């Protein structure tokens, strides 16, 4: 592909365009904050995120194209592998540690505001579909539209939901039996280096984090967001409600396997 070639593809709720070695994405009121975050990560020497190069003539943000496989559903064997799971935990820890020094900076216009306690800059949507995988390893995070100050447990809870994955048998994105899901969740937290207290917080945040997603989808759809309205019409909110029931029904398993030493 030459620098003049254009490849258009779907990225979640956004339409992305690849131009040579860059990706062009739509901007929003939060883009300046996301760019400040990406620039900070570059200054910190964190290699697991794309670099930003400003705004193009069409008003789109310009980001480096990262080679590899993005973990879209249905997940590939690579994205479901144990090496992907463990490397994703390490990647998230490196990201969080690199952002801790940015928390006290006065950056406005984060998309969702701050979630207390503000320990790091949360990615806000840590999942296989926002990771780049190469040779069985999670090598980078992408899509920082939902980034903002918050606790480590906020990101960890959603990462466990997506990577373990802690979903009901009715969820087509799931795999593994209950005990296997719990074991993978513990492996993710161990690779992150989570303390006992942080494991407790992450598990306690599972249901609130998923309920927040449902509430956000509904609010966005009511405000006219067609992409989220379509997600709801496709049954995503109902699926998340079933997963919440599954999480609540198996709380003792998460406590025994994921939290306890």
pLDDT, mean over the chain: 94
State residue 108's pLDDT score.
84
Dump pLDDT digits (tens) for 90-144: 999 999 999 999 998 989 899 988 999 999 999 999 999 999 999 999 999 999 9
Res 88 pLDDT > 50: yes
| Percent of the chain with pLDDT strictly greater than 70 | 95
DSSP state of 112: S
| 151 close to 118: Cβ distance less than 8 angstroms | yes
pLDDT, tens only, 192-243? 999 999 999 999 999 999 999 999 999 999 999 999 999 999 999 999 999 9
Query: What angle, rounded to 10 degrees, do the helices at 152-163 and 178-192 form?
Result: 140
Residue 88 near residue 138 (C-beta atoms within 8 A):
yes
- Each residue's pLDDT tens digit, 25-60: 999 999 999 999 999 999 999 999 999 999 999 999
Roughly what angle, to the nearest 10 degrees, separates helices 82-99 and 178-192?
40
Residue 15 pLDDT level (bands cut at 50, 70, 90): confident
Task: Tell me which residue of 91, 129, 96, 86 sits closest to 198, measured CA to CA.
Answer: 96
Give, as one character, the DSSP assignment of residue 173.
T
pLDDT computed for residue 261 by the predictor: 80
**Predicted structure pTM score:** 0.94
pLDDT at 66 over 90: yes
Residue 244's nearest CA partner among 189, 170, 179 is 170
Quick one: CA dihedral 108, 111, 167, 66, positive or negative?
negative
**Token pair 């296989």 is at which residue?**
128
Per-residue CA distances from 30 to 27, 35, 108 (Å):
8, 9, 8
Q: Which residues 6+ apart lie within 8 Å of 167 measured at CB?
A: 161, 173, 174, 181, 243, 246
Task: Identify the DSSP state of 44.
Answer: T
Does residue 1 surpass a pLDDT of 50? no
Alpha-carbon dihedral angle through residues 239, 205, 126, 24, given to the nearest 10 degrees: 80
| pLDDT for the residue numbered 237 | 97
C-alpha–C-alpha distance, residues 114 and 108, integer Å: 10
Ordered strands of the 14-19 beta sheet: 6-11, 14-19, 22-25, 61-64, 52-55
């Amino acid at each position: 592909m030459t620098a003049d070639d254009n490849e258009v593809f779907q990225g979640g709720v956004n339409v992305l365009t690849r131009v040579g070695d860059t990706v062009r994405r739509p901007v929003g009121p939060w883009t300046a904050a996301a760019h400040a975050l990406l620039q900070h990560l570059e200054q910190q020497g964190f290699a697991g995120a794309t670099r930003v190069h400003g705004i193009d003539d069409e008003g789109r943000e310009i980001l480096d194209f990262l080679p590899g496989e993005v973990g879209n559903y249905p997940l590939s064997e690579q994205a479901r592998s144990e090496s992907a799971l463990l490397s994703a935990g390490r990647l998230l820890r490196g990201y969080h540690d690199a952002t801790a020094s940015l928390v006290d900076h006065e950056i406005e216009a984060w998309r969702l505001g701050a979630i207390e306690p503000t320990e790091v800059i949360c990615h806000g949507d840590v999942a296989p579909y926002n990771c780049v995988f190469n040779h069985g390893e999670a090598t980078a995070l992408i899509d920082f539209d939902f980034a903002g100050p918050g606790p480590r447990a906020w990101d960890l809870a959603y990462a466990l939901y997506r990577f373990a994955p802690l979903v009901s048998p009715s969820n087509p994105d799931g795999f593994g039996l209950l005990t296997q899901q719990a074991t993978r969740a513990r492996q993710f937290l161990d690779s992150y280096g989570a303390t006992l207290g942080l494991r407790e917080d992450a598990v306690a945040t599972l249901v609130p984090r998923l309920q927040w997603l449902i509430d956000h989808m509904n609010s966005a759809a009511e405000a006219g967001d067609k992409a989220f309205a379509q997600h709801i019409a496709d049954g995503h909110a109902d699926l998340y409600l079933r997963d919440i029931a599954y999480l609540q029904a198996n709380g003792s398993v998460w406590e025994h396997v994921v939290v306890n030493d």
